[in-house]
Amino acid sequence: MPAATRNPNSRSRQCNPTRVRRCLRVFFGHLFSNLGLFALVVGYVLLGALLFEFLEAGYELEQRSHIQKYREDCLRELWLITGRPTVFFITI
């Protein structure tokens, strides 16, 4: 390729060890800055929340069904109690 048609920036875009080291240094510099650490913590928290929800979803659904059954039983019992005539009449 003739020198006149060659892009002057093409050499700087090549992957050489010096460029890789410089890019890694910049990357890790940003990663361990305050903003980078904040992003890591937020990502860690979100990943933990998703994992916790995935692991505990079955147990939570089971607990909700037990609570719903208990509420229905209580409501049925209260309805039976209020249907008895002796509940509202007090004899002295």
Number of helical H runs and strand E runs in the chain: 2, 0
- pLDDT value, residue 50: 96
Asked if residue 48 lies in contact with residue 54, where contact means CB atoms within 8 angstroms, the answer is no
For the stretch 13-72, pLDDT in tens is: 677 888 888 998 988 887 778 887 888 899 999 999 999 999 999 999 999 999 999 999
CA 8 remoteness from chain centre: 47
Confidence band of 74 (pLDDT split at 50, 70, 90): very high
Give residue for tokens 């509420």.
71
- pLDDT value, residue 79: 87
Q: What is the pTM of this model?
A: 0.45
What letter would DSSP give residue 85?
G
- pLDDT value, residue 90: 63
* Tokens standing for residue 51: 């994992």
Q: For residue 16, what are the CA distances in angstroms to 6, 11, 67, 74?
A: 19, 10, 64, 74
Mean pLDDT, residues 63-91 taken together: 84
